[in-house]
Copies of this chain bind each other. A is one copy, B any other.
Amino acid sequence: MSVQERKERERADRERLILATARELAEQHGWDAVTTRRLAERIEYSQPVLYSHFRGKREIIGAVALEGAAEMAAAVRAAASVADGPRARVTALARAYLDFAARNPAVYDAMFQLDGGLAFAKADTPEPLKDAFAALLESLGVVAGDGVHPELFTEVFWAALHGLATLARAGRLPPEDTERRTELLVDRLAVL
């Protein structure tokens, strides 16, 4: 029994190593640099080993995305919890979201720009994704305003944050005004 347990443990360790290495490689040199050959070399195994853990590269991206969703949910909740009052909470949430996207561009790409084979807004949506949306909903739902469905409001707010995050990262928005854009968004969208 103990032998089998050890093997399972080692296998789980290796899976974590694959994901951590893929993520590191992606953050350092972009997802294009994350090839199965390079990834295999970094973990000091041959390519086919990757395919005994994941169906393919897409599934590796998807796994990194799920990790990222869990981290983002935690970051958003942590930021919101230390703020006083709805307004400060929403501002903190927005800053935390944009900060996460800026600090983990490759992970954010895995979540939203790349195809990780994940289902969204459906019944079979993975739990971390649903929970990340729930984390937004917790703070945003209370400032949706009268007669506005909290989910719908959260979707719109989220979309705005997502737009700011992606356009900023792609160099499509001047970097110096990030804070002012965030404040404008919160001031206008949230009903306080």
Residues of A within 8 A of B (CB): 112-113, 119-122, 148, 152-153, 155-156, 158-164, 166-167, 170-174, 177, 180-181, 184-185, 188-189
Contact = CB atoms under 8 A, between A and B. Distances in A.
A180 B152 contact: yes
B181 A155 contact: yes
Q: Interface of chain A, helix or strand or loop or mixed?
A: helix
A171 B113 contact: no
Contacts of A164: 156, 159, 163
A125 B1 CA distance: 64
B158 A121 contact: no
A97 to B, nearest CB: 11
6 contacts: A121-B173, A152-B177, A153-B184, A156-B181, A159-B163, A159-B173
Contacts of A160: 156, 159-160, 163, 185
Contact of A188 (B158, B162, B171, B189): B189
B184 A152 contact: yes
A155 B165 CA distance: 12
A88 B112 CA distance: 32
Most chain B CB within a 10 A radius of its CB, from A148, A160, A164, A185: A160
A59 to B, nearest CB: 17
Q: Which of A113, A156, A167 has the most CB of B within 10 A?
A: A156
A121 B159 contact: no
A166 B119 CA distance: 15
A121 B184 contact: no
A112 B177 contact: no
